[in-house]
Amino acid sequence: MDNMAVKRVRKTKTKDRIRLNVRGIVQGVGYRPLVYRLAVSNRLTGYVRNRSGEVIIEVEGERENIESFINELVQKTIEPARINHLLVSHLSPVGDREFIIEESEHSQECSSVFPADLAVCEDCIAEVLDPNSRFHLYPFTSCTNCGPRYSIIRSLPYDRDGTSLTSFPLCQTCALDFSDPMNRRFHAQTIACAKCGPKMELLNSRGMQIAGNWLTETSTALSEGKILAVKGIGGFHLICDAAHMHAIEKLRNRKHRPRKPLALMARDLAVVEEYFEISSRERRILTSRQAPILLLKPKENARRHLPLEVIAPGLTRIGIMLAYTPLHRLLFGGRFDFIIATSGNKSGYPIARSNEEALSQLSEIADLFLVHNREIIIGIDDSVGHVMEGELCLIRRARGYVPELLTFPYPVQADEQKKEFKQFLFSSPIVLGTGGEMKNTFCFLYEDQALLSQHLGDMENLESLSNHRRALKHIEKMLGKTPQLIAYDPHPDYFFSKEANKGPGDVVPVYHHHAHMASCMAENGLISPVIGCILDGTGYGQDGRLWGFEILVGDYTAFERMVHLRPITLPGGESAIRHPWMTGMSLIYEAVQNGDQTIGWGKRLFPCTKEKLPIVLAQLDGRIPSPKVSSSGRLFDGIAAILGICMESSYEGEAAILLSEMIERLDQKVISNHRGTYYPFELKDGEWWIDRFIMQVLLDREQSISAEVINLKFHHTISEMVREGVLHAHKKTGIRSVVLSGGVWNNRYLLSCTKKLLQQEGFSVFTHKKIPAGDGGLAFGQAVSALWRWYQNHVPVGTCKDNRIGSASGKG
């Protein structure tokens, strides 16, 4: 009897119930349908529902099935979905009879991330191109695996009634797809078709509708060399036929964009492979859900069929993206392989979002306007990146990557179960990094997460500032949080410097180059002090001067400037940035220290500026006051001018980019023959002296040494200067971790060359990947630095004297 009883107990299978709180990228990516299918296949009952920023799952069933469900959930959560945190709680069974998807639960706060815009999937494209599909030629086709997300969200949780698609009630057929667990549009919040979804219209520049089929008329207009403003996911593009040289020239002329490179949109991957060199890594990036613009080298076929010198003057790599929406794919038809697709904005303005904005801003640029009636809630530009040393490095972080959450090191380095760490998360303030005035982004830190905004451009006018405020308010609304601690760049002329000090929150000034260093540290999870090699254009330093070629030592809370470029005069101040020949004159004066000789060199090298040379000299010799700078960006400008490559800059960083691209064109034999060659310089009292360096460049120029070889030696010289500076800092501190940050490190050859030199010396070298090396990463560094300084000072938010925390973040 006892044995039989034991056997009966073994045959009886008891039911368990658990709750899973899942945080991460789990909304807007088909996650609830995935949970539903896994629960049903494992014979579990219960429910799944969205709660602002997270997914709540309760499952009930046999223990083995629950364990199988959890394992499958982890294994099958693949891109673009991602689990950051999974909390499991054990509950008492309640006897559910089925598994259901419940209505979303609304709460005041968002504890996790909300979804990014996703490129159209292959299944949807196949339906758009299939004459037998009900989605044939429908430009808003999407499913749970693809389509707009972030740009159309009004509120969380991510449900249709919280997006701009709430204006389009589902037709009966779409409603059936939406409710069918076996359909890939099951609970797809962006589902729409020609019967019930958004509509396209083709308008002229006065806003009047063009008669006829919009797709046919658009194709004809492109063939005729017309420029179209096309409304996409996050805003407008200006497009034209990429093989039509006169159309591209017309676009450049109308947009007042004489030389800045234009991006190409390709019909499909096969076209890209036919015209451009592409590695397996680049192929995966280009076809990813993020679908960024990627810098690729053209093949001879591209040089024969595309006017590359008009598309990207002087550049060896072209920005390429795939058609990432059904609308974009339809634009190609059978006529075009590539179209120009550049941001739809008036020069200096943010990207146009609404039809009204586009007609107002772009009526003098575009011939026609291809618009739709789906509202874009928040504008977002295309992301831009390139592959360096096998890794994607983002130059501009926006569509597809924002609002993905980032991790960063916390001031309390304790196990998450320890009381101290939990107290830190509970008491730590919500931090806002306001970013810089160029390539602006902002960054929120809350709990243990960082949200870096999309690229917002240069803060040049009221429209740009308004766009920044709108994006900030949008994030605040999504998160249900407002900043309590605000980090800003203390440049006295920056708008954000003034606005931050007027605000209600506590403020933390973080110097420009300290923010760069902190940004690279945080991205790489570094805690201990590092040597920071910060090379960029210009940033405000503690001495009131413009910095940009620095070796710093420090951590998140403080820094010391160990080595820097001996300051040179910047004639005309920051306006010289647009006139590299003026910086060239400054370098010449540093080398010869003689006014007559400087004028003589100026007449030979810059003959078109003869009348302006005396006034420039008066600034160089001190008769007219001018600021001093220690900037690598300005050094690149001056060398580019001396080599005759860039006298006038038409876009930010043009001179430096052209020098970088010149090396890309060099034969490997030339590079091998000059490996290790560099110009002489001196490191004295913590300053790099470059007078002999520049003098030798001038002599090489006079002796007709090719600009390519001089430029190669120039790059080697910068690498050697950095190496010497790092060794100097190491001897004083013993530190062996080095971070490279600042926009100059987007230079592929310079980064590779310098990294190898430092690694040969035994240093561990860390660089940027997900966070832009340029000013687009400043906000991240500002925010993390502010949080660490807040913790170090142990000052409760709201009690800081003069509203400041650690107003000096380093020492000179």
Q: How far apart are CA 23 and CA 211, in angstroms?
A: 49
Burial 10-34 (b: 16+ CB within 10 A, else e): eeeeebbbbebbbbbbbbbbbbbbb
Q: Do 809 and 511 touch, CB atoms closer than 8 A?
A: yes
Q: Do 773 and 632 touch, CB atoms closer than 8 A?
A: no
Q: Do 655 and 646 touch, CB atoms closer than 8 A?
A: yes
Q: Which one of 32, 252, 397, 748 is the catalytic residue?
A: 32
To the query of whether residue 747 is one of the catalytic residues in this protein, the response is: no
Q: Determine if residue 203 is left, alpha or beta; phi over 0 gives left, psi from -120 to 50 gives alpha, anything else beta.
A: beta
Structure tokens at 306: 């595309």
In order of 591, 665, 705, the CA distances from 701 in angstroms are 14, 20, 6
Place of tokens 């709540």: 56
Cross-sheet strand order for the sheet of 391-396: 200-204, 368-372, 228-231, 236-241, 338-343, 264-266, 318-322, 293-296, 384-388, 391-396
Q: Do 338 and 242 touch, CB atoms closer than 8 A?
A: yes
Structure tokens at 422: 């939990």
Q: Collapsing DSSP states into helix, strand and coil, what is residue 383?
A: coil
Helix residue spans in 336-381 (DSSP H): 355-362
Q: ∠ CA(297), CA(302), CA(305), 5° rounding?
A: 160
CA atoms within 13 A on the CB side of 62: 10
Q: How far apart are CA 307 and CA 248, in angstroms?
A: 9
Neighbours of 269 (CB within 10 A): 13
Structure tokens at 259: 């030389």
Chain centre distance of CA 20: 33
Q: How far apart are CA 674 and CA 643, in angstroms?
A: 18
Q: Collapsing DSSP states into helix, strand and coil, what is residue 220?
A: helix
CA atoms within 13 A on the CB side of 4: 1
What is the H or E stretch that residue 575 is in? none
- The amino acid present at 773, given as its one-letter code, is A
To the query of whether residue 50 is one of the catalytic residues in this protein, the response is: yes
Please choose, from the candidates 509, 506, 529, the residue with its C-alpha nearest in 3D space to the C-alpha of residue 517: 529
Inter-axis angle of helices 707-733 and 691-702, nearest 10: 170
- The amino acid present at 712, given as its one-letter code, is L
Q: How far apart are CA 23 and CA 556, in angstroms?
A: 28
Q: How far apart are CA 449 and CA 731, in angstroms?
A: 36
Q: Per DSSP, what are the bridge partners of residue 569?
A: 628
- The amino acid present at 320, given as its one-letter code, is I
Q: How far apart are CA 786 and CA 812, in angstroms?
A: 19
Q: Do 563 and 729 touch, CB atoms closer than 8 A?
A: yes
**If 0-12 CB within 10 Å is exposed, 13-18 middle and 19+ buried, where does residue 212 land?**
exposed
Pairing status of strand 682-684 against strand 687-689: antiparallel
**If 0-12 CB within 10 Å is exposed, 13-18 middle and 19+ buried, where does residue 691 land?**
middle
Q: Do 718 and 745 touch, CB atoms closer than 8 A?
A: no
Q: How far apart are CA 376 and CA 325, in angstroms?
A: 15
Chain centre distance of CA 211: 39
Helix residue spans in 643-706 (DSSP H): 654-664, 668-673, 691-702
Q: Which one of 17, 42, 49, 50 is the catalytic residue?
A: 50
Catalytic center residues: 32, 50
